[in-house]
Amino acid sequence: MANQAAVGGNVRYPNLQSIADQFRSSINDTFNNTTGTGTGQGTQAGLIMSNLNPDLVTFMDQAIPEIFSDLRNVGDPELIMDNYILLGIPALAQQDSTVQVALSYAGFFNGFSWSNVWTLPIGMSRLLAVWERQSGTTNSFSPMKNAPFGIGGGWQNNYMGQYEMREGMLWMPGALQALDLRIRCRIGYPSPSFSANLNYSTTYVPVLDCRNAIVAKMRIQYALRFAPELYATCIQEEARQMSKLRLEVVRGMQAQENERVPFGDEATQDFNIAWSWL
């Protein structure tokens, strides 16, 4: 249903095992938890913060989403999902101006009942754009308009044309024919603690060069609980690591050409009305 390439297995991205190993090294906890002597590797590393310690997963659970949040705020394009395709959104049985349809993380609401066949991207944090086309065709997708002040209450047609995000769901007026949707959105990161069978070696954080910053954020949480005298130092180190990540994103954006929208006598369009007839 959703034509997305899986993120994982890319050695350029840090996996949870490398993050855990670096965190343990920074707090002097690399001892072998099996023999009690020497240096441990992987699941055998750490007398205090081993991979089985729920505190370690909790620290990751706090640090990794915060990395995503910090980078979203400066527009990091790595955290954008595009071309998420939903095929065959069903048509309404008849026109009804009281009906709106909704797409949530759990399923699709047709105005009367729910189906779990169609869902929003599970990692979506903010919707950016939506397109639609007639289902069962290879037609081009047409953009739908965001309706920040609410969806119009008229009768439905063959296309929906507009959408609104509210209550954590994508709301639309519905249509009289089956449609395909294409979604572009910003993504977050699922909680590492969601699975008892979490594999540290094959679970990756898809942000380049983020390991030092994640570990720095984890050390802040560690200091709050176990070493409050180091809290200020940890805050400074986290700020240093995050400033480098943010700067890399901003420098990349500055390298792009930008042009202001013409206004005044130079304007060719205003209030979404083209002046081409002048």
Asked whether residue 177 falls in the same domain as residue 248, the answer is no
Q: Look at residue 276 in the predicted model and tell me its pLDDT.
A: 41
Q: Is residue 3 part of a domain?
A: no
Q: Is residue 11 part of a domain?
A: no
Q: Is residue 269 part of a domain?
A: no
Q: Is residue 111 part of a domain?
A: yes
Q: Look at residue 274 in the predicted model and tell me its pLDDT.
A: 44
Q: Is residue 238 part of a domain?
A: yes
Q: pLDDT tens digits, residue range 183-204?
A: 999 888 776 655 567 788 888 8
Asked whether residue 143 falls in the same domain as residue 176, the answer is yes
Asked whether residue 86 falls in the same domain as residue 178, the answer is yes
Asked whether residue 158 falls in the same domain as residue 113, the answer is yes
Q: Look at residue 89 in the predicted model and tell me its pLDDT.
A: 96
Residue 76 contacts residue 200 (beta carbons within 8 Å): no
Q: Look at residue 117 in the predicted model and tell me its pLDDT.
A: 95
Q: Look at residue 272 in the predicted model and tell me its pLDDT.
A: 47
Q: Is residue 92 part of a domain?
A: yes
Domain membership of residue 106 as a residue range: 79-187
Asked whether residue 151 falls in the same domain as residue 216, the answer is no
pTM score, two decimals? 0.70
Q: Look at residue 110 in the predicted model and tell me its pLDDT.
A: 94
Q: Is residue 112 part of a domain?
A: yes
Q: Is residue 69 part of a domain?
A: yes
Asked whether residue 90 falls in the same domain as residue 180, the answer is yes
Q: Which portions of the chain are predicted below pLDDT 70?
A: 1-11, 35-38, 40-42, 191-196, 258-278
Q: Look at residue 35 in the predicted model and tell me its pLDDT.
A: 67
Number of structural domains found in the chain? 2
| Listed residue (120, 128, 131) closest to 168, CA to CA | 120
